[in-house]
C-alpha cells in the first residue's frame, strides 16, 4: 500500500511536461497573467485620460495655424480679385475664375510629393522650405506682372510651394497630439483656412483697388517670408514611434482581433504596409471630401460676386459678410472637432454635416431667385459654416487611418482631391452661372453632399493609437 501511494504521489508531481503545462494554461490562465493583462489595460486607459498635450504641442499648433493662414492667403487671394478682373480688366467670369484657380493647379501637382517629403525628411524642413519658396515665387511675379501668361505660371508655382504647408502642418499637429485630442487639434488647425480666407477677403480687395496685382503680391511676400523665419525657429518634428501600432477599429467592431493575428499568423506592421491596400477607408474619405468641398469652394470663390451681383449688396458690406462667414466657419470647425473627440466618432459627424450642407446649399439656390439681402447674408454665413465643418474630421480620419509613416502622403492625397475639385470648380461654376444663372447652378452644387452620404464609411479606423 505504501509503495502504491508513493507511485501515485510521484505521478501527480512529476507529470509536468510541456503538453501538460500547455493544457493547463489553456484551461486556466495563470492568475499572474490575468492580473498582468488587467494592469496593462488599466494603465493604457489611465494614460489615455491623463496624457494631456504638452506645451510644445500647443506651440506647434499655433505655428501650424499661422503658417497655413499665410499659405491660404497666397492660394485664395486671387479669388477676391475676381470682381476687380471682371470690371476693371474686362475678364469674363470664366476667365477670371481660371486665373483665381491657378494656385490650386500648382497645389495639385505637388501636394503628394510634399507629403512624401515630410514623411522622409520631417515637417520642419518641409514647412520652412515650402513657405520660403512661396515668398520667392510671389516676389518673382512682381517682375513679370505685365505678362498675364507668366503671371499665371508663377502664381501657380507659388501655390505649388505653399502645398508643403497643407501636408506638413497637419502631419506635425497629428504627431504631437494624442488621439483623444486630435479632433480638437485638427479642428483648430483647420480654422487656419477660413481665417486666412477672411484675412484675404478683408485685405485683398482694397489692396487691389489701390495697387493692383503688384500690391497683392508684395503683401504675400511679406506674410509668407515672416512665417518662413518662424517655422525655422519654432517648429520641431514630433517624436517618432519605433514600432507602429496595429490598426484599431474605433466604433462598431467591438475590439475584435485581426483574423490573421487570431490564427497566429505573422502580420505586417502598418509602418511598412500601404494603408490604401489594407481596406477602402482612405479611398472613401478622399471621395467624400472631394464631393463635400464643392459647396465650400463655390461659396469661397463665388460668394463675394454672388452677394454683389445677385443680392445687390455693396462691395464693402459683401466683403464683411464673407469675412464673417469665414470666422464663424473657423469656430465651427473647432467645435465639430472637439465634439468628435467626445463622441468617439468622426465619420458619424461627417454624415450629419453632409446632410446639413445639402439643405443649406438648396436654401442658397432658392434665395438666388430674388434679392433678399438680409436673409441672404444670414443664410450665406450659415451655409459657409456648414460647408467647411467636415474638413477637420476628414483630415484627422485620414491621418489616423494612414499611420505615422504614411500620413504625409495620405494628407497630400486628401488635399490633392479637394484642390483638384476646386480647380475644376473655378472655371466650371463660372460657366454654369453664365449659362444657367445662380439658382440652378447652386441647385447642381447641392447634389454633391447628397452623393457623399452613400460613400461615408460606417466606422473610424486608427493606425496611430
Question: Which residue's entry shows cell 509536468?
Answer: 16
Would the pLDDT of 7 be above 60? no
pLDDT digits (tens, 9 = 90+) for 137-178: 999 988 877 676 777 788 899 999 998 888 787 777 777 887
In a domain, 435, yes or no: yes
- Provide the number of structural domains found in the chain: 1
Would the pLDDT of 307 be above 50? yes
* DSSP β-bridge partners for residue 248: 462
Q: Which of 129, 160, 161 is nearest to 228 (CA)?
A: 129
pLDDT digits (tens, 9 = 90+) for 272-286: 588 888 888 999 999
Would the pLDDT of 27 be above 60? no
Percent of the chain with pLDDT over 90: 26
Mean pLDDT of 248-252: 48
Residue 152 CB partners (closer than 8 Å, separation 6+): 99, 102
**What's the confidence (pLDDT) of residue 216?**
87
In a domain, 262, yes or no: no
CB count, 10 Å around CB of 209?
A: 13
Number of C-alpha atoms within 13 angstroms, CB side, residue 342? Answer: 6
In a domain, 20, yes or no: no
Residue 255: what are its φ and ψ, rounded to 5°?
75, 20
**Residue bearing the bigger pLDDT, 218 or 176:** 218
Cell of 397: 480620419
Q: How far apart are CA 347 and CA 363, in angstroms?
A: 25
Cβ proximity of 221 and 138 under 8 Å? yes
- The enclosing domain of 208 has a CATH number of 1.20.1250.20
Q: How far is CA 279 from CA 283, 349, 401, 408, in A?
A: 8, 21, 10, 18
**What's the confidence (pLDDT) of residue 380?**
95
Mean pLDDT of 13-19: 38
Would the pLDDT of 270 be above 50? no
**What's the confidence (pLDDT) of residue 249?**
54
In a domain, 283, yes or no: yes
In a domain, 239, yes or no: yes
Q: Residues 293-324, buried b or exposed e (16+ Cβ, 10 A)?
A: bbbbbbbbbbbbbbbbbbbebebeebbbbbbb
**What's the confidence (pLDDT) of residue 288?**
92
**Residue bearing the bigger pLDDT, 126 or 50:** 126
CA dihedral (396, 231, 120, 110) positive or negative:
positive
**What's the confidence (pLDDT) of residue 375?**
94
Q: ∠130-135-138 over CA atoms, to 5°? A: 120
Would the pLDDT of 21 be above 80? no
Would the pLDDT of 11 be above 90? no
Q: Which of 411, 370, 397, 405 is nearest to 458 (CA)?
A: 397
pLDDT digits (tens, 9 = 90+) for 88-136: 766 777 667 777 778 878 888 898 898 889 888 888 899 999 999 999 9
Q: How far apart are CA 133 and CA 53, in angstroms?
A: 31
Domain holding 316, by residue range, is 54-250+275-462
**What's the confidence (pLDDT) of residue 264?**
38
In a domain, 43, yes or no: no
**Residue bearing the bigger pLDDT, 372 or 12:** 372
**pLDDT band, residue 19 (cuts 50/70/90):** very low
CB count, 10 Å around CB of 55?
A: 8
Mean pLDDT of 384-395: 87
Rounded CA Rg of the chain: 27
**What's the confidence (pLDDT) of residue 362?**
95
Would the pLDDT of 262 be above 50? no
Would the pLDDT of 36 be above 80? no
**What's the confidence (pLDDT) of residue 272?**
57
Would the pLDDT of 234 be above 50? yes
Q: How far apart are CA 353 and CA 449, in angstroms?
A: 9
In a domain, 154, yes or no: yes
In a domain, 454, yes or no: yes
Task: Say whether pTM exceeds 0.95.
Answer: no
Amino acid at each position: 500500500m505504501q509503495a502504491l501511494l508513493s507511485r501515485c504521489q510521484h505521478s501527480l508531481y512529476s507529470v509536468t511536461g510541456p503538453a501538460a503545462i500547455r493544457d493547463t494554461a489553456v484551461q486556466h490562465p495563470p492568475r499572474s497573467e490575468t492580473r498582468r493583462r488587467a494592469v496593462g489595460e488599466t494603465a493604457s486607459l489611465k494614460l489615455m485620460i491623463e496624457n494631456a498635450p504638452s506645451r510644445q504641442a500647443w506651440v506647434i499648433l499655433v505655428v501650424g495655424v499661422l503658417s497655413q493662414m499665410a499659405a491660404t492667403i497666397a492660394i485664395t487671394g486671387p479669388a477676391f480679385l475676381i470682381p476687380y478682373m471682371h470690371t476693371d480688366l474686362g475678364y469674363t467670369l470664366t476667365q477670371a475664375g481660371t486665373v483665381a484657380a491657378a494656385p490650386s493647379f500648382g497645389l495639385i501637382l505637388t501636394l503628394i510629393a510634399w507629403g512624401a517629403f515630410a514623411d522622409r525628411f520631417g515637417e520642419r524642413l518641409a514647412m520652412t522650405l515650402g513657405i520660403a519658396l512661396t515668398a520667392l515665387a510671389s516676389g518673382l511675379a512682381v517682375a513679370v506682372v505685365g505678362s498675364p501668361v507668366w503671371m499665371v505660371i508663377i502664381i501657380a508655382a507659388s501655390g505649388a510651394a505653399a502645398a508643403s504647408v497643407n501636408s506638413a502642418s497637419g502631419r506635425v499637429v497629428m504627431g504631437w497630439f494624442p488621439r483623444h485630442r486630435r479632433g480638437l487639434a485638427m479642428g483648430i488647425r483647420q480654422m487656419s483656412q477660413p481665417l486666412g480666407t477672411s484675412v484675404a477677403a478683408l485685405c485683398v480687395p482694397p489692396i487691389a483697388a489701390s495697387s493692383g496685382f503688384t500690391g497683392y503680391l508684395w503683401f504675400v511676400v511679406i506674410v509668407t517670408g515672416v512665417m518662413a523665419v518662424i517655422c525655422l525657429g519654432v517648429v520641431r518634428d514630433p517624436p517618432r514611434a519605433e514600432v507602429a501600432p496595429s490598426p484599431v477599429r474605433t466604433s462598431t467592431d467591438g475590439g475584435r482581433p485581426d483574423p490573421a493575428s487570431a490564427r497566429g499568423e505573422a502580420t505586417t506592421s502598418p509602418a511598412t504596409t500601404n494603408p490604401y491596400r489594407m481596406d477602402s477607408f482612405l479611398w472613401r474619405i478622399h471621395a467624400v471630401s472631394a464631393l463635400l468641398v464643392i459647396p465650400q469652394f463655390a461659396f469661397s470663390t463665388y460668394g463675394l460676386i454672388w452677394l454683389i451681383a445677385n443680392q445687390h449688396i455693396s462691395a464693402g458690406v459683401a466683403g464683411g459678410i464673407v469675412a464673417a462667414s469665414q470666422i464663424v466657419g473657423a469656430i465651427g470647425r473647432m467645435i465639430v472637432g472637439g465634439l468628435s473627440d467626445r463622441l468617439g466618432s468622426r465619420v458619424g459627424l461627417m454624415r450629419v454635416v453632409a446632410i446639413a450642407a445639402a439643405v443649406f446649399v438648396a436654401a442658397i439656390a432658392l434665395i438666388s431667385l430674388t434679392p433678399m439681402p438680409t436673409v441672404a447674408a444670414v443664410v450665406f454665413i450659415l451655409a459657409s459654416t456648414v460647408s467647411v465643418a467636415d474638413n477637420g474630421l476628414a483630415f484627422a480620419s485620414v491621418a489616423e487611418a494612414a499611420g505615422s509613416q504614411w500620413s504625409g502622403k495620405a494628407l497630400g492625397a486628401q488635399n490633392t482631391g479637394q484642390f483638384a475639385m476646386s480647380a475644376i470648380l473655378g472655371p466650371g461654376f463660372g460657366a454654369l452661372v453664365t449659362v444657367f444663372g445662380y439658382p440652378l447652378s447652386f441647385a447642381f452644387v447641392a447634389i454633391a453632399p447628397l452623393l457623399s452620404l452613400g460613400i461615408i464609411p460606417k466606422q473610424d479606423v486608427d493606425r496611430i493609437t
